[in-house]
Structure 1
Amino acid sequence: MTPPLLSVRNLSKTYPNGVRALKGVNLEVQSGEFLVIIGLSGSGKSTLLRCLNRLHEPTSGQILFQGEDVGQLQKSDGIRQLRKNIGMIFQHFNLIPRQSVLKNVLMGQLAEKSTWQSFFGLFSDEDKKEALQNLKLVGIADKALQRADHLSGGQKQRVAIARALTQKPKLILADEPVSSLDPATSHAVMDYLKKINQELGITVIANLHFLSLVRKYATRVVALKDGEIVFTGRPEEITEEWFHRIYGEDAHDIS
């Protein structure tokens, strides 16, 4: 059997204020999956994603990515290489507002540049060609020379996806990538994530709220509640009973 791309073993995270965000999480992710993590706000979804690429330091447990123990990476070069292989897409886009769309996408290549190249923002014609190809992939190449702050929310998120692709990642983490977007735009953004998952073979782990999106895009679902995994299975296996166990008896599915 092919070893998992990602293996999480007994992962726990306790913040300095005493909040236990993760409590012994165990999870395996195979290459090519589109895994969606669901749960209430505060269930530990964002903490889990941020621990996977060491944006947050786990309190205990082990994370293996491509067989390498992420927790043992101490030097900045090792962590930078990890974050090159694990692209991150944020809820609020994290673009540089006054820079062009193209320049924002090129920022995804900084992990491959030397310190002086990064400092001066030096990119080759080949770098720019690749960035434009990624913008074309997400249908926004015509905006390449516009400033990022002139774009709509959906367009900004597509720029963020193109930036992540420029890293040539093996895994993309998407933390509530559509929660600030309207329903139509949300589906458009998710379509592009599905496209890169299926056509480029990049594994995706996304935190999502709405079950309509979960059922349409996920190949597998994991539900967190109070920092623990309470469900793992296919989207169609989330029955009404499971929905209430995950979200509470008073919750209503608006999907």
Structure 2
Amino acid sequence: MSTTIATGCLTLESVFCAAQGRTLLAIDRLTVAHGERVAIVGHNGAGKSTLLRLVSGFLPPVSGQVEVLGRTLDRPLPARELRALRVEVGQVMQGLHLVSRLSARENVLVGSLGRITGWRSWTRCFPLHEMARAEAALRAVGLLARADTRADRLSGGERQKVAVARLLMQRPRLILADEPTAALDPSAAAEVCHLLVKAAAEAALITVVHTPSLLPLLADRVIGLKLGRIAFDLPLASVDDQKLVDLYRPDADRNRTLCQASAAQRSEAGLEAFP
């Protein structure tokens, strides 16, 4: 049965996630309040994308407690509850998840599918008021003139704007953005950041960020992940260059231990000849 969170948008307690014997996440406690702007930083493999998958209900933890928007995610949700959660959680991922053959307008209208069910959803026969809202969302991101252009004929920056317009259409309570400015030039990246924050005006925003210069545009709070654990959780003003250098510096002792363990496992399996 779902439980209600009194003050938080999400809460993680003693959460542990692993795959194939490798720790993906080990978080003692993490809370994010409604309306917060949080950036997640860390090296590749630090657990950033795993955290987003956990919060969106795609990955149940091995142990621990996960609560998101009043729902407990310690175990897979029934299909109806999972659908209800994903209506309230908007996502902008690296792959964008746009449908290439659909127009910009049609991709934005996908954001209304949580409100539209039955034959209208699978025939994409949207009510006039939803069509008007889709055009308003495209206008808000400066893409109304490209509304009828197929997604695969848009530039990278334009596709990312379509993804943001879809969020405006969806009106989620929590937005998860995984490197939303990947492969964009600095000008386009800054514009997408401003639009994303605008789309999150009434939502909490959690963004995986790889470019430190974008942190002031996206977040008031920064969480550093290292080897699946929280290395720091600080206000933006307290995150200086040294904090980031220390976060991204390889953990030599830990890496040596992992390499030794991996070598031992290969030896036991008779695979000594393979690196």
TM-score by length of 1: 0.90
CA distance in 2, matches of 1:136, 1:61: 43
Residue 120 (structure 2) aligns with: 117
Q: How much has 1:114 moved relative to structure 2?
A: 2.2
CA distance in 2, matches of 1:25, 1:96: 38
Q: Secondary structure at the match of 2:26?
A: strand
Residue 67 (structure 1) aligns with: 70
Matched residues, number:
246
* Aligned positions of 1:182-201 closer than 5 A: 182-197=185-200, 200-201=201-202
* Aligned positions of 1:1-255 closer than 5 A: 3-15=7-19, 17-71=20-74, 74-197=77-200, 200-248=201-249
Q: Is the 8 A contact 2:207 2:218 kept in 1?
A: no
Deviations for 1:89-121, whole angstroms, at most 9, x for unmatched residues?
111211111111010111112222224332222
AA of the residue aligned to 1:243: L
Q: Is the 8 A contact 1:39 1:209 kept in 2?
A: yes
Q: Is the 8 A contact 2:164 2:199 kept in 1?
A: no
Runs of 4+ in 1 over 6 A off after TM superposition: none
Q: How much has 1:25 moved relative to structure 2?
A: 4.6
Q: Sequence identity of aligned pairs in percent?
A: 35
Q: How much has 1:21 moved relative to structure 2?
A: 0.9
Deviations for 1:27-83, whole angstroms, at most 9, x for unmatched residues?
111111110000001100001001101122222222212333133563211101101
CA distance in 2, matches of 1:94, 1:239: 34
AA of the residue aligned to 1:9: E
Q: Is the 8 A contact 1:148 1:156 kept in 2?
A: yes
AA of the residue aligned to 2:224: A
Q: Secondary structure at the match of 2:162?
A: helix
AA of the residue aligned to 1:187: A
Look at both structures and tell me which one has the larger radius of gyration over its CA atoms: 2
CA distance in 2, matches of 1:58, 1:83: 18
Deviations for 1:9-31, whole angstroms, at most 9, x for unmatched residues?
1222112x222110135211111
Q: Secondary structure at the match of 2:182?
A: coil
**Structure 2: gaps (5+ residues):** 1-5, 252-275
Q: Secondary structure at the match of 1:5?
A: strand
Q: How much has 1:236 moved relative to structure 2?
A: 2.3
Q: Is the 8 A contact 1:91 1:180 kept in 2?
A: no
**Structure 1: gaps (5+ residues):** 251-255
Q: Is the 8 A contact 2:8 2:33 kept in 1?
A: yes
Deviates more, 1:125-134 or 1:69-78: 69-78
Residue 253 (structure 1) aligns with: none
